Amino acid sequence: MAGTFLPFAGVGPADKAKFLVLGSSVSGVSALMSRLSSLKNLEHVSPSRLKGSGISRRPNSAAAEEAATLALMRRWFFARKPDAGFVLTDFPATLLQARVFDEWLEARAEDLTAVFADRPDIGPIVAHYRMLGLLREVDAATPT
């Protein structure tokens, strides 16, 4: 990307913005995450942070793990104020989770501001959000 990277340009009030960050463990997103973390009025959420350090039992299957993650994220999503902004990382992790999340947004008449991905090839989730016109790719050389 040439020039200044402005992820929040044209998104309206930054404290009401709703962002998804895909591929957050890869270095290309670190500059974006530091910019997002500067927005103190946005809730920064990930399933691993919501689980906390309490005792947890491993589900017997991947389907049980996905169901537990969806239940956890559903509780968070519907407990928050509808106009409150957020930065969501590590979720959705599957195409099923992305579609369920879309249904939750529709149920509350909310829209995502943008979905950031550092690698456009990371799978069907990226393709899903690209098709919806929400995807903004993050270049590893993005200025800080």
* Two structure tokens written together for 134: 């929400």
Percentage of the chain exceeding pLDDT 90: 30
Q: Give the Cα separation of 20 and 1 in Å (integer).
A: 20
Q: What's the confidence (pLDDT) of residue 51?
A: 72
Percentage of the chain exceeding pLDDT 70: 62
Q: What's the confidence (pLDDT) of residue 1?
A: 38
**Measuring CA to CA, how many Å separate 33 from each of 37, 53, 88, 140, 142?**
6, 23, 11, 12, 11
On whether the 14-51+61-137 domain is CATH 1.10.10.10, my answer is no
Sorting pLDDT into bands at 50, 70 and 90, what band is 25? low
The pLDDT tens digits for 106-115 are 999 999 999 9
Global pTM exceeds 0.85 = no
pLDDT of 34 > 80? The answer is no
- The chain-wide mean pLDDT, for the chain, equals 76
**Mean pLDDT value across residues 94-114:** 94
What is residue 84's three-state secondary structure?
coil
Contact 72, 45 (CB under 8 A): no
What is residue 100's three-state secondary structure?
helix
Q: What's the confidence (pLDDT) of residue 3?
A: 39
CA-based nearest residue to 80, from 54, 45, 40, 117: 45
Q: What ranges do the domains of the chain cover?
A: 14-51+61-137
The pLDDT tens digits for 48-67 are 777 765 555 665 688 888 89
